[in-house]
Structure 1
Amino acid sequence: MLDPTRCGLHAENDRLREIGPLVPVELVGGVRAWAVTRHATLQTVLTDPRVSKDIRHWRAWADGTVPGNWPLTAIVAVKAMTTVDGADHRRLRGLVSQAFTSRRVEALRPRVAQLTNELLDRLAQLPPGPVDLRQEFAYPLPLHVVCEMIGLPEERRDELHTLTNVLLRAVDTPEQTASRTGTLHQLLAEVIELRRRDPGDDLTSALIAARDEDGTRLSEAELFGTVLLMFIAGHETTLNLITNAVRALLGHPDQLALVRGGSRPWGAVVEETLRWDSPVAHFPMRYATEDLEIDGATLHRGDAILASYAAAGRDPAQYGERAGHFDVAAPSPRHLSFGHGAHYCLGAQLARLEAEVALPALFDRFPQLAPAVPLAELEPLTTAVSNSTGTLPVLLGAQRSNGRRAVSGSTR
């Protein structure tokens, strides 16, 4: 069974890769799936037309083997672009893709830089002592960005984050999961109704307009699922990415010196973090639509498949001797942490932009930034999907001697 507490994730992934490229595993609740552990095999699975995202192909779901209160039900059964293929996927993706064009994402750079400056100012005003950088910096930046994009009111954002975490956790009781999921659905319904009454220049309002104009373009369930997906994917991955990147740099001061000295760009830190410590551990689910053989493993029609991004990111067959090492000086890695093929993450460019703005600004403002506890002692997130630590306590140290410097957003 995959460890639901995520202790020793990378060691567990090393063992899985040694067993094979596709390994049968058990998830919380006794649910069984195939974990794709190696880079080349994962790339194949992500584009194989015999593998679907549609839950109707999952044999254990159809025959009732999956418990009705399974913690990951809300993720695998949500009505959104992550759980459909073909024309339905293109339809749903098309409704939100205009918000993530290169031009529109780049236009957000000044706002990301402004938010970063504001958060750094807030950090500078905290009393001396350990600061949870995950909570105080890595969390609010992507949260504010995505909530502004999709039109979620500021006073409900923290509550939404707390509730959506339930969809990813692996250690709650079924009763806890059901209660919090119900509260989340009620809250999101209230937010959608608010935007319906008072539309704005945001993605939720645009989706509501598409739904109200022509119900064949977007059902009410798809509207709800898409807003939920945009909220979770829009901040959770970037939160983990920034946390993991800071943790990696603090644990590898020689690598930090390379980027701070200008020998390597900050974008190299982002890409190496995505490979070496992917923000996503195992993403559920894909399903075999027929009996098939992939890299020596025989899957049967209806089998479930996990995309094990963190395992693929340290695959020696792909990355050689550097696989287990954090090395920003190495050539920029080709990784799969944002997916591959038709379901490639729409928000990948935005996540990169936010991290590439936030990281140099943080280390520029606080050049003496240091861990407040041994990094090896940090507790991992107890989720079935995400890969990061629950906290990142640091000592900020002195600010730059000439005080605050505005963040431009440039990573050069």
Structure 2
Amino acid sequence: MTDQRSGHADRLDPTGGLDHTDRLGQAGRSVNGERFVLDPATADLHGDNDRLRRAGPLVPVTAEGVPAWAATQYATLLTVLTHPDLSRELHHWTTRHAMPPGTAIDRIVTDTSLLNAEGERHRRLRMPLTTAFSQRRLNGLRPRIEELTARLIDRLAEMPPDEPVDLRLEFAYPLPREVISELIGIPPGHQDELHRLTDAVAQVGDLEDSPGLRKELRELLDQIIEERHDTPGEDLISDLFALHEKDGGRLSEDELFATIELLFIAGHVTTVNLITNAIGALLTERGQLDLLRSGQCPYSAAVEETLRWDSPIAYFPMRYATRDIEIDGVHLRGGEPVLACFASAGRDPHQYGDDAHVFDVTRPQFTHLAFGHGPHFCLGAPLARLEGEIAIKALFEAFPGMALARPVDELPPLDTLLGNSTRTMPVLLGPRAR
């Protein structure tokens, strides 16, 4: 068993070009004047994270021009995710006006949905969505997910078995995209244009993500939501509109639109990374794949180990200290932001032992933090797990001779601070099983 995409982290500039005497006067004080600059384009995310963890549990970093604290270790991240004096509400960030516009951080921290809500407002916005992701709803979705997966497998089987096929583009992406489209209620007439735009968000195909594209996507979603108001069905948009009209004080129209936009984008992009990363891990670690195919381990174990070992989210912004606090011996001033390092926490030796860097589906199922923790635990976690398990089981049973066309550590990364995956996953499918 080997460790993919980890090793050296020399591309991390510990000084960020800052004067060592500069205390910054902004979020995060430097340690001996040093500050790590996170590189969204790094080809060695896990190596970078190894270095960050060695620097301490809370490390001063610069992310997309923003100085912040990075919670690098599992126990520290767990504390950050649940600390009563850390909030996701933007008004607590004292230097938010200095944040560069148009970045991934900007898009996340200015989101007006339940993502950045706290307390009673968060509970009010989250409550209507619990039914959509209930176990009963998921049980009803399973046959449809299996049907969509089988259709994608059939399409893959029509491709040349000895020529590279990009499974991120042709399999890992369309499955969760179709599932969330149906769950939310995207009309067929809008799906082609919506898919064109979300291709860029998921970083598949040739279209590049940009602030302008995000604006175009938001406008299209707004149009779809308006149209569904007049043509309700059995879907989440219709459910939320019904609630809005029944009890307008619970969910305003602005909150309704922001919620649906969040669910559509967040509801499939991270699952694309999960399925892509699982494929890469299992095709690299053939012994682990044999354990699944023999029935010694369930495919759900591969999903959980992928979530731990190669989290679909690298770093996620932000939580802000609402007052001066101390975490793991580090003093945070009120108003300072903290970045959650999910991919780093998943390989923390303090939590998972000296072999934390090893992909091992037989590992005792320690709790991981890939879906967060506490009040903001990911609503879509059960759906992502279900899609991941169905997808990788069907894929590896259909193509027993499948092999990587290129080693995973040679594939281009997503080039984003948030997502952790590769832009492609080229494989040679080989013949379909009979």
Match of 2:363 among 330, 334, 352: 330
Structure 1 residues 285-321: Cα deviation after superposition (integer angstroms, max 9, x where no partner) = 1111111000011111111111110000000000002
Matches within 5 A, 1:106-145: 106-128=139-161, 129-145=163-179
Query: For residues 38 and 85 of structure 2, what CA distance do their matches in structure 1 show?
Result: 26
Match of 2:190 in 1: 156
Structure 1 residues 47-94: Cα deviation after superposition (integer angstroms, max 9, x where no partner) = 111011111111112xx2113444432221111111011101101110
Structure 1 residues 142-174: Cα deviation after superposition (integer angstroms, max 9, x where no partner) = 1111110001124534543554576788xxxxx
1:184 paired with 2:217, answer: yes
Matches within 5 A, 1:219-234: 219-234=252-267
Q: Is the 8 A contact 1:284 1:306 kept in 2?
A: yes
1:24 paired with 2:48, answer: no
1:382 paired with 2:418, answer: no
Query: For residues 417 and 190 of structure 2, what CA distance do their matches in structure 1 show?
Result: 25
Query: For residues 181 and 403 of structure 2, what CA distance do their matches in structure 1 show?
Result: 30
1:206 paired with 2:242, answer: no
Query: For residues 162 and 381 of structure 1, what CA distance do their matches in structure 2 show?
Result: 18
Match of 2:314 among 274, 281, 285: 281
Query: For residues 181 and 388 of structure 1, what CA distance do their matches in structure 2 show?
Result: 21
1:48 paired with 2:83, answer: yes
Query: For residues 161 and 237 of structure 1, what CA distance do their matches in structure 2 show?
Result: 16
Query: For residues 427 and 360 of structure 2, what CA distance do their matches in structure 1 show?
Result: 22
Query: For residues 266 and 43 of structure 1, what CA distance do their matches in structure 2 show?
Result: 27
Match of 2:323 among 269, 290, 294: 290
Match of 1:10 in 2: 46
Match of 2:297 in 1: 264
Q: Is the 8 A contact 2:201 2:269 kept in 1?
A: no
Match of 1:34 in 2: 69
SS class of match (1:100)? coil
SS class of match (1:99)? coil
Match of 2:250 in 1: 217
Query: For residues 122 and 71 of structure 1, what CA distance do their matches in structure 2 show?
Result: 34
Match of 1:101 in 2: 134
Q: Is the 8 A contact 2:202 2:272 kept in 1?
A: no
Query: For residues 178 and 131 of structure 1, what CA distance do their matches in structure 2 show?
Result: 30
Q: Report how far residue 256 of structure 1 moved.
A: 0.6
Q: Is the 8 A contact 1:72 1:168 kept in 2?
A: no
Match of 1:353 in 2: 386
Match of 2:334 among 295, 301, 304: 301
Q: Is the 8 A contact 1:55 1:76 kept in 2?
A: yes
Whichever residue aligns with residue 27 of structure 1, its letter is A
Q: Report how far residue 237 of structure 1 moved.
A: 1.4
Query: For residues 100 and 88 of structure 2, what CA distance do their matches in structure 1 show?
Result: 19
Match of 2:25 in 1: none
Query: For residues 209 and 421 of structure 2, what CA distance do their matches in structure 1 show?
Result: 23
Moved more, 248-257 or 208-217: 208-217
- Structure with the higher fraction of residues in helix conformation: 1
Query: For residues 215 and 403 of structure 2, what CA distance do their matches in structure 1 show?
Result: 40
Q: Report how far residue 214 of structure 1 moved.
A: 3.1
SS class of match (2:296)? coil
Q: Is the 8 A contact 1:39 1:318 kept in 2?
A: yes
SS class of match (2:369)? coil
Query: For residues 165 and 369 of structure 2, what CA distance do their matches in structure 1 show?
Result: 32
- The answer for unaligned runs of 5 or more in structure 1 is 170-174, 403-412
SS class of match (1:200)? coil
Q: Is the 8 A contact 1:149 1:203 kept in 2?
A: yes
- The answer for unaligned runs of 5 or more in structure 2 is 1-36
Scaled by the length of structure 1, what TM-score is found?
0.92
Query: For residues 208 and 40 of structure 1, what CA distance do their matches in structure 2 show?
Result: 40
Query: For residues 335 and 99 of structure 2, what CA distance do their matches in structure 1 show?
Result: 13
Query: For residues 179 and 307 of structure 2, what CA distance do their matches in structure 1 show?
Result: 20
Q: Is the 8 A contact 1:166 1:181 kept in 2?
A: no
Q: Report how far residue 247 of structure 1 moved.
A: 0.3
SS class of match (1:321)? coil
Against the structure 1 CA distance between its residues 343 and 195, is the aligned structure 2 distance closer, same or farther, given a 3 Å change threshold? same
Moved more, 201-210 or 12-21: 201-210
Structure 1 residues 195-214: Cα deviation after superposition (integer angstroms, max 9, x where no partner) = 11211111011112222333
Match of 1:319 in 2: 352
Q: Is the 8 A contact 1:274 1:335 kept in 2?
A: yes
Whichever residue aligns with residue 68 of structure 2, its letter is A
